[in-house]
Structure 1
Amino acid sequence: MTDTLLLEELVLPQTPDAEDAADFLAVVALNNAVCRNDAGTDDLAQTPAEMLAGLRDTDDEVQRIFVVREEGAVVGCVIVSHATAEPTSTQFDLMVLPENWGRGIEDALLARAEEETHALGRAVMQTWTLHPGATAGATISPATGWGVVADTPLARLLAHDGFVLEQVERNSAFDLAGPMDDVRQALDDSIAAAGPDYRLVDWTIPTPPDLAEGYAWALSRMSTDVPAGALEIDEETWDAARVERREARLTEGGQTMSVAAVLHVPTGRLAAFNELVIGADRSEVTHQFCTLVLREHRGHRLGMLVKCANLLRWREIAPDSPRVSTFNAEENRPMLDINERIGFAPVSYAGAWQKKLG
């Protein structure tokens, strides 16, 4: 970097409209501009309230934000996160717009993320890059062999620094304004196929106390039961208190979440679940967070059941939201088959990169 560029840590404001919030708001704008530029869609943008709530430290996750300033203006940022209970990796998000690329900003931010990872005593760095839905140029294939992403400047920077593209995720969208006849039919068929051992339950957060521990157990299985390629993912430990903290963060950001789940009647435990989330403006895009059928309950159409049930429920919660946006690993064909069957269409892609530190 040149002498006119300064790299320093950002301190979060108390609120998005606080007097000292200007740099944080610049980071929000940078994040949204980078997502738009890289993925070719505005669906991944965050509001200041959502991003501030998501960046606050909790008992479960700590995040540090480093920015590069030029004459006081934020021209680059890296957010480095680590889960407190899971010891292996850090995750980071590096943001530099094309007009500022090639000036050393991205190199300095990447080096700072690695320094933070070393300081934490962690052995693995992970990050995700965004890519357009279609590209006429060069592409990169992941280690899984499933899917490709565009060969972008950030992808080349990561590869040169020793990162490996371990997985490609597909970002798909579902048109909420379209007819729901196929969704209703798929739900009816799935309920019939699942049989009496499985019962649909649903709620809007906060999670009812009698379901919190079972929901926590199901959330913990996201770290063990979802295709992850060669990404090193620690098994997560969840309890009702961690669920409550997660939901408090969403609520602080003005977000609403609906959960559709399936209860396995013989054991009384949740067997599958799906989450839909929207911000304070319910005319904006909806995001699907987690969807999972626990490994021991697969083969009963529970994935289709929870997805369709939540989409139909969502029509009552956010009738003006235009679409649902979701990410799934390209090798996760069972879930992609469900998405394609009910009308999700590809929009963009994400690449999961990993570097193991010596």
Structure 2
Amino acid sequence: MNPTLAPRSTPASTPSPSPSFTISEMTVPATLDDEAAADFLTLVALNNAVCLSDTGLEDFARTPEELLPHLQDGVDEKHLTLLAREGSRIIGAVTVSHATAEPSSAEFDLMVLPPDWGRGVENALLDAAEAHARALGRKVLQTWTLHRADAGDPALVPRTGWGRVSPTPHAQLLLERGFTLEQAERNSALDLHADDAPVERMLAEALAAAGDDYRVVEWTLPTPPELRDGYAWALSRMSTDAPSGDLEIDEEVWDAERIARRDARFVDGGQTVSVAAVEHVPTGTLAAFNELAIGADPSGVTHQYCTLVLKEHRGHRLGQIVKCANVLRWRAIAPHSPRISTFNAEENRPMLDINEAMGFTPVSYAGAWQKRLE
């Protein structure tokens, strides 16, 4: 999942004939002490409240310090945030984001809490998000919804045929507005206070299977300069090698400078990020990697960001190596963190097999949605 404001689900839609709210663009503050920071702080609180409402979990809460550097980024990504106000109260928001180097898609995050849903706020914000994406010349509009663990019956099945998500009002709104549920993702959690022995055993087995052609390389962001080019190549492969169903995803363009800017956004936001990678010794290629991150609170939840094994290096248990190695490394970095939260596509059986063997259990789900604008 994207570490910025990830799209969330909320409850169903009957537009009000005469809306009592207005929609305006949010100013992104330069610092949290600026006068303009009040709206941003309300946006963060709204995002966290929607995540909690959607999943019943507090795992997805983010701090203003973590999120501000991402919304300030205008080099690699651009963001537009629109706020719906009723008088002085913010009753909804939508953030539309698009990468500057990749031309096809835009993503949005629609945030409206249940008491304000059904008054036309969600439709008006979605209208604005779609209009902005069209004005940018984007071909597709994408979003992600969060869902509780019990999908219920009937459930929504994505086009991949793998997994199910609950038919929340937010999901129903997207269906009504021409979006297609392309993929289901499982959110799993690992108890970081459990016995290390199974993970240690899995790491030893995987290292033996991989052999001498592969070696573990580990670091904490910022990425050492000598590793940035290799890491840029590996991270670019997330867009081509990770399971994505029929989501239209541009092949991403990464270089050492983009890696440095990405690192800075995490570090400037007070986050600690550990990377465990595997180098293919004969070629020097970073063939697999895993990222774990935590905010400034040492007792907070750990989030796994990207994990990938390059296609040409699969079949050597490299995914098992990077996941197990990083968890064991993480024990010393964040000993008070209670658990790791991670998302994986339901069709990504090899990675889910590793997760389950390590002790990850499902706690919620996400739906990936897409609408073609041409």
Shorter-normalised TM range: over 0.9
What RMSD in Å do the two structures reach over aligned CA positions? Answer: 0.9
Aligned length: 358
Is 1:189 the equivalent of 2:205?
Answer: yes
Letter in 2 for 1:104: G
In 2: Cα distance, 1:95 partner to 1:239 partner = 33
Match of 2:267 in 1: 251
- State whether residues 27 and 36 of structure 2, in contact with CA within 8 Å, keep that contact through their aligned partners in structure 1: no
Match of 1:271 in 2: 287
Letter in 1 for 2:156: I
Letter in 1 for 2:272: T
* Alpha-carbon offset, residue 3 of structure 1: 4.8
* Alpha-carbon offset, residue 17 of structure 1: 3.4
Match of 1:330 in 2: 346
In 2: Cα distance, 1:245 partner to 1:30 partner = 27
Match of 1:46 in 2: 62
Match of 1:281 in 2: 297
Letter in 1 for 2:250: D
In 2: Cα distance, 1:170 partner to 1:203 partner = 27
In 2: Cα distance, 1:303 partner to 1:337 partner = 10
Deviates more, 1:176-185 or 1:10-19: 10-19
Match of 2:327 in 1: 311
Letter in 2 for 1:301: R
Match of 1:241 in 2: 257
Match of 2:150 in 1: 134
TM-score, normalization: structure 1? 0.99
Letter in 2 for 1:281: D
Match of 1:118 in 2: 134
Match of 1:290 in 2: 306
Paired residue secondary structure (2:53) = helix
In 1: Cα distance, 2:343 partner to 2:123 partner = 28
In structure 2, runs of 5+ residues without a counterpart are 1-15
In 2: Cα distance, 1:3 partner to 1:210 partner = 56
Paired residue secondary structure (2:306) = strand
Q: Deviations over 1:164-183 (max 9, x none)?
A: 00000000000001111000
Paired residue secondary structure (2:212) = coil
* Alpha-carbon offset, residue 15 of structure 1: 1.8
Is 1:216 the equivalent of 2:259?
Answer: no
In 1: Cα distance, 2:152 partner to 2:259 partner = 43
Paired residue secondary structure (2:70) = helix
* Alpha-carbon offset, residue 342 of structure 1: 0.5
Paired residue secondary structure (1:140) = coil
In 2: Cα distance, 1:269 partner to 1:241 partner = 18
In 2: Cα distance, 1:82 partner to 1:303 partner = 29
Paired residue secondary structure (2:173) = helix
* Alpha-carbon offset, residue 329 of structure 1: 0.2
Match of 1:153 in 2: 169
Letter in 2 for 1:354: Q
Q: Deviations over 1:173-199 (max 9, x none)?
A: 000011110000101111111000000
Match of 2:50 in 1: 34
In 1: Cα distance, 2:20 partner to 2:309 partner = 52
Letter in 1 for 2:275: V
Letter in 2 for 1:130: L
Letter in 2 for 1:289: Y
Match of 1:199 among 215, 220, 245: 215
Paired residue secondary structure (1:41) = coil
In 2: Cα distance, 1:121 partner to 1:12 partner = 23
In 2: Cα distance, 1:80 partner to 1:57 partner = 13
In 1: Cα distance, 2:195 partner to 2:70 partner = 34
In 2: Cα distance, 1:37 partner to 1:18 partner = 29
In 1: Cα distance, 2:292 partner to 2:191 partner = 14
Match of 2:370 in 1: 354
Letter in 1 for 2:44: V
Match of 1:170 in 2: 186
Letter in 1 for 2:176: H
In 2: Cα distance, 1:11 partner to 1:55 partner = 10
In 2: Cα distance, 1:111 partner to 1:170 partner = 29
In 2: Cα distance, 1:221 partner to 1:81 partner = 21
Q: Among all aligned residue pairs of Structure 1 and Structure 2, give the percentage whose two residues are the same amino acid.
A: 63
* Alpha-carbon offset, residue 20 of structure 1: 2.4
Is 1:64 the equivalent of 2:95?
Answer: no
Letter in 2 for 1:268: G
In 2: Cα distance, 1:316 partner to 1:86 partner = 37
Letter in 1 for 2:290: N
Paired residue secondary structure (1:335) = helix
Letter in 1 for 2:133: T
Letter in 1 for 2:90: V
Match of 1:179 in 2: 195
Q: Deviations over 1:250-299 (max 9, x none)?
A: 01110010000000000011000000000011110000000000000000
Runs ≥4 residues deviating over 6 A: none
* Alpha-carbon offset, residue 227 of structure 1: 0.4
In 2: Cα distance, 1:343 partner to 1:12 partner = 40
Match of 2:361 in 1: 345
* Alpha-carbon offset, residue 123 of structure 1: 1.1
